Amino acid sequence: MKETILNLVMVVGFLAAGCAQETKNIDLMHDEGKPVMALDYRDFDRAASELVQSMLGSGALKKEEGGRYVVATGRIVNDTMQRIDTDQLMAKIETEMLNSGQAIMTSAVGSGADKLVHETRELRDSEEFDPNTVAKRRTLIAPELSISGKIFQRNIRYDRGRQQVEYYFQLKLSDVKSGLRFWQDEVIVGKRGSSKSVAW
């Protein structure tokens, strides 16, 4: 009897494996996949691109005396029902800012800080390292601007059986010394679908 049950379980397992759909790579340039109620990479790409284009188009990063601003990444608040890695959004924004030639991002402070920048400075008193190769004091450059923002979500009952989910991507650019805000904008990603669809 036990052997029959075991054989039955194995047969069901093989059938389930055979019915599973094959895995396919996504063509990120020409993705014809259906939209989903939650945020996907296409939403992050769109929001990041629109926000950066707005920032660059505003002239907020153009210095009167020329040169490039040093920008630190501040806090990006995730106020959605999803577990979003906000670094994913900021990585694209930071890349586009760097590629614009109008800004330099700092890794010394902020949410984009690299711990190694400070750890290497602790080597100054080590007898194992050539002191000429260790970063000197007062060589770090302080940020002039800070970029911060928020992503939040609103779920609205659209009609019977359907829902509307709105995602708001907000970003602002502030002067570190004066606290004055140079620029801010918002991109809304809206989705409408079955109320049975999960948006998180």
pLDDT over 80 (residue 114): yes
> What does the radius of gyration of the chain's CA atoms come to, in whole angstroms?
24
Domain-located, residue 78: yes
CA distances to 25, 119, 150, 157 from 78, in Å: 29, 29, 6, 22
Please tell me the distance from the alpha carbon of residue 3 to that of residue 75, in angstroms, as a whole number: 59
For the chain, percent of residues with pLDDT exceeding 90: 60
In a domain, 101, yes or no: yes
Q: How many domains does the chain have?
A: 1
The predicted-structure confidence for 5-63, as pLDDT tens digits, reads as follows 555 555 555 555 555 578 766 666 666 667 778 888 899 999 999 999 999 999 999 99
Task: Give burial (CB, 10 Å; 0-12/13-18/19+) of 190.
Answer: exposed
Report yes or no on 117 lying in a domain.
yes
Which CATH number does the domain housing residue 113 bear? 3.40.50
Query: Is 18 within the bounds of a domain?
Result: no
Q: Return the biggest CA–CA distance within the chain.
A: 86
Q: Is residue 9 part of a domain?
A: no
Is 16 inside any structural domain? no
Residue type, 190: G
| pLDDT tens-digit series, residues 120-144 | 999 998 999 999 999 999 999 999 9
Contact (Cβ atoms closer than 8 angstroms) between residue 35 and residue 167: no
Flag whether 146 is in a domain. yes
Instruction: Give Cα separations from 156 to 4, 44, 105, 165, 191 (angstroms).
Output: 52, 21, 38, 6, 10
| Residue 171 located in a structural domain | yes
pLDDT at 88: 83
Provide the 3-class DSSP secondary structure of residue 174.
Answer: strand
Contacts of residue 40, defined as CB under 8 A and 6 or more positions apart, other chains included, come to: none
User: Is residue 41 within 8 Å of 78, Cβ to Cβ?
Assistant: no
**Domain housing 166:** 50-194
